[in-house]
Amino acid sequence: MDYKVLLESAEGLLSTEPTNLSILSNASAFLNDAIPDLNWVGFYMYKNGILTLGPFQGKVACNLIMPGKGVVGTSYSKNEVIVVKNVHEIENHITCDPISMSETVIPIRHNGAIWAILDLDSPVENRFDKDLVDFLQQFGLLIENYIDFSKGLI
């Protein structure tokens, strides 16, 4: 997979989006379409001490996650990317879809503070290799460049 080409395509798409909501909506759709073997892609937005479900592609999802809980909440608390080869081996994993096997989460930051978490799930164990995670981190930086942090979602 040519991640450089995917980043260029994503930049062309995201640079024309008129609102934060459309950026996040098309970002999740783009990743869901471009990366094989995913069963969920979306965002959890941080506000008032909780991570709340944002735009996503996939089955119905958990709508509220507390910092420190599950992979998403742990990523928020530690302020770091987390790659999980097998979610069933994680003690505090939150099971939204029992067919998910692996997960990667990427913090989206503003002025060093986490604004959202990009969350990707796969029904394939160990789906997220180094090259894919590097691409997702670059994709996260791209989102940070286009989000207008002075506005709400719309």
Which domain range does residue 97 map to?
Answer: 3-146
Q: Is the pLDDT of residue 92 over 80?
A: no
DSSP code of residue 63: -
Residue holding tokens 């024309």? 16
What CATH number does the domain containing 95 carry? 3.30.450.40
Half-sphere exposure of 76 (CA within 13 A, CB side): 23
In this predicted structure, what is the pLDDT of residue 115? 95
Residue 69 lies in a domain: yes
Question: pLDDT tens, 51-90?
Answer: 999 999 999 988 899 999 999 999 999 999 999 999 888 7
- Domain assignment present for 154: no
Residue 80 within a domain: yes
**What's the structural domain count of the chain?**
1
